[in-house]
Amino acid sequence: MDNQGIEITRLEPMRAAALSVNSRSPEEEAIGGLLDWARERGMSPGRVFGYDSCEPYPDHVYTAWIEVGPDVEGDETVSIIDYPGGRCASLTVSGAQNIHTGWQRLADWCHDNGYRFGAHQSLEEMLSPLDTPPDQLKVRLHLALAD
Domains of the chain: 7-144 (3.20.80.10)
Task: Enter the pTM of the model.
Answer: 0.93
Provide the terminal-to-terminal Cα distance of the chain, rounded to the nearest Å.
21
| 24 band by pLDDT with thresholds 50, 70 and 90 | confident
**H helical segments located in 22-98:** 26-40
119 — phi, psi (to 5°)?
Answer: -85, -20
Q: Is residue 1 scored above 50 in pLDDT?
A: no
**Mean pLDDT of all residues in 127-140:** 92
Does 130 have pLDDT greater than 90? no
DSSP state of 68: -
| C-alpha to C-alpha distance for 8 and 29, rounded to whole angstroms | 30
Q: Per-residue pLDDT for 25 more than 90? A: no
pLDDT average, residue stretch 44-52 = 91
Lowest mean pLDDT among 20-29, 75-84, 108-117: 20-29
- pLDDT at res. 2: 54
